[in-house]
Amino acid sequence: MDWLRDHLWETWLGAAILLALAELISLDLFLLMLAGGALAGVATALVTDSAVIQVLVASATAVLLLGLVRPTLVRRLHGGPDLVLGPASLVGSRGIVTEAVSEHRPGRVKIGGESWLAVGAAPVSSLPVGTSVEVVSIAGATAHVRPVTAPELEEPR
């Protein structure tokens, strides 16, 4: 027991290392926050010999890390963009009308280098050849498109 009292900062450092290594197994970021608290215990042990103060600082730091830092890290690590595959990935893409689209007759548009059967999304009645369009939705093999207004004109994807 005398050794622990004489080497408190080394004890805290050992606990921090063991907790960080155990985190590699759990991958839940819980033990890593406790390791952060133990590192605060190391810093406190270098300043004071009071074990009570060291435990209080280490505990408070661990609780703060668990409550403030961990939720943000978990949200960032587990969140991310949704992966959209297939035709659904074309929604929002721009294209050019290659065969006129009328109210009762589908036409063709070139979207992303591919030719698609297209119909105008309501209230579109007709789209002449060369009109820039945006894909509103895809239903089967048919793209539902609407004309792109002048300020939004860009090159097709």
Say which CATH topology domain 86-150 has: OB fold (Dihydrolipoamide Acetyltransferase, E2P) (2.40.50)
* pLDDT number for residue 155: 52
The ranges of the chain annotated as CATH 2.40.50.140 are: 86-150
**pLDDT 10s digits, 24-49:** 999 999 999 999 999 999 999 999 98
Spell out the residues 6+ positions from residue 140 whose beta carbon is closer than 8 angstroms to its own. Answer: none
Tell me what percent of the residues of the chain surpass a pLDDT of 70.
Answer: 92
Range 123-127, long-range pairs (CB < 8 A, 24+ positions): 126/100, 126/101, 126/102, 127/97, 127/100, 127/101
Which whole-number Å values give the CA distances from 144 to 46, 89, 121, 131, in the listed order?
Answer: 68, 14, 5, 14
pLDDT of residue 151: 52
pLDDT tens profile 54-82: 999 999 999 999 999 999 999 988 887 77
pTM reported for the whole predicted model = 0.54
* pLDDT score for 121: 83
d(CA 99, CA 143) in angstroms, rounded, equals: 13
